[in-house]
Structure 1
């Protein structure tokens, strides 16, 4: 019976799919290198979530034939090492597109309408406002916020997530612009000049993968181009935005707010500056992990292994050159 190693547990529907296909499924005892090297040694396949899969772990998989990523991003997998060892890497595209897009809209609304501050102040001052006007309290404390209608949302990355986000934002009456050097048929006005994007954005949503080209892409220089009233949302990967520079911009009122779902590294250090920056939402990599999205991701990751074992190319291969027909 071929063993499928899960670096971390995936959705039960994915596990059941693998078991029905005749695989033994094992969840690793840990995601550290030494534990993974031991666990992967007799595995036919491994499904990775967000933990790292470096060369030394891949090379310890003497029976390893396929790495299936329970998600879209592959920055945590050493794809070159996999190719060097004849191991196919596959991923799942689009399964969590609506979940991530909804997260972006949720955080945009939360920040623009001052929901967190309103909740905090109302709880703190409830004893002092009896008999007074609540709208007056809101005005006095600058809590009224702004609406999304007629604001400009700039999306960096017009893949499946970005395209869903376009539809949701337009439903709110927003103007949407975008940047993506790899997309030719975008549904919105596109810009080649990132400087222009930063200057126009009321909201900036990052939906790009972490690559050598996007690493540290947004620093104090780029943030200085943005409106002081702008809000930045990173639901993609930590490492694209310089965290210290972003915290400095927020604390110095150079930016109105931010929502951060991914960090560099993960988990973030206790002294990460974004945990103490102004008007910042920090979340634990939840943008794409709704119950529904997790089920779709788990099924997709499992199906890639099943297809491969039946000699069929998985739907979303990363290094297809290593695939051998009839494997």
Structure 2
């Protein structure tokens, strides 16, 4: 039976799908390089989540034929090394689009309505509330916030997630604009200039992959173009936004708030400046990991391996030229 190595456990439905198709499934006891190199030696396939699959790990996979990414982003996989070793890389597109889009909507509401601040202050000052008017308390501490209706949301990256997010935001009565250099048409107005995007947006949602072009794409220079009330939501990858510059802008009231779900590096270091920045919501890379999304991702990642083993191109190949070399069997 062919071995499928999981760098981290995927949803049980994906594991069962592999086992029902006569694969043995092994979960690596750790994601560190030495453990992965040992575990991958006799693996036919590996399913990756967010940990790194570097060249030296891939080189150690002497029987390795396919790497299946339990998600969309592939910045944690050395695709060039995989291609050099004639190993196909596949990913899962769109399975968690609603989960991520809902995360963006949720965080916009939390930031705009100042709900977390209200919760924290209510707990902190619970012994001082007797005889107070709660609406007066809200006014005193600036907790009333704003509606998102009528505000402008700029979506950077209009793939599956961005397009679902656009529909949800429009249902809330938001004006939606987008930026995606790889699209000619989109369901929302596309602006060719990021400068204009930054000047107009009340909310900016980052939904782009981390590449050499997008690394540090939003830093102090770009933030200076934004409104002092603008909120930034990053549910994509750490490294796209300069974290130190973002913390500085937030602490100096140059931005209205931020919701950050991915960090650079990850997990974030204890001295990450965002831990102490104002109006900042930090989450644990959970935007796309609802129970429903995890099931869909697990099925998609498993199905890519099953298809490949049966001589069929997986639905979302990253380096399809490898498949043409006849390495599926």
Q: TM-score range by the shorter chain?
A: over 0.9
Where in structure 2 are the equivalents of 1:44-123 lying within 5 Å? 44-123=44-123
**What is the DSSP-based 3-state SS (H/G/I as helix, E as strand, rest coil) of the residue aligned with 1:227?**
coil
What is residue 164 of structure 2 aligned with on the other side? 164
Match of 1:152 in 2: 152
Q: Match of 1:16?
A: 16
Once the two structures are superposed, residues 260-319 of structure 1 have per-residue CA deviations (whole angstroms, 9 ceiling, x without a partner) of: 000011111011000110010111100000000000000000000000000000000000
Cα distance in structure 1, aligned partners of 2:76 and 2:229: 34
Does residue 227 (structure 1) correspond to residue 223 (structure 2)? The answer is no
1:44 and 1:124 map into 2 onto residues whose CA distance is 55
For 1:127 and 1:272, locate their aligned partners in 2 and report how far apart those are by CA, in whole Å.
Answer: 33
- 1:270 is matched with 270
Aligned partner of 1:193 in structure 2 is 193
Count of aligned positions: 327
Q: What 5-or-longer segments of structure 1 have no aligned partner? A: none
Q: CA deviation at 1:122?
A: 1.3
TM-score relative to the length of structure 1: 0.99
Deviation at 1:141?
1.0
Q: Secondary structure at the match of 2:125?
A: helix
CA RMSD between the two structures:
0.8
Taking the aligned partners of 2:172 and 2:116, their CA distance within structure 1 comes to: 21
- Which aligned runs of 4 or more in structure 1 are off by greater than 3 angstroms? 324-327
1:121 Cα deviation (Å)?
A: 1.1
For 2:295 and 2:217, the matched residues in 1 are separated by 32
How far, CA to CA, are the matches of 1:163 and 1:257 in structure 2? 23
1:114-153 pair list within 5 angstroms = 114-153=114-153
1:287 alignment counterpart: 287
Q: Aligned residue for 2:258?
A: 258
SS at match of 1:46: strand
- Which residue does the alignment assign to 1:245? 245
TM-score (norm 2): 0.98
Residue 26 of structure 2 is matched in structure 1 by 26
Residues 119-152 of structure 1: CA distance to partner in whole angstroms, max 9, x if unpaired? Answer: 1111222222222211111111110000000000
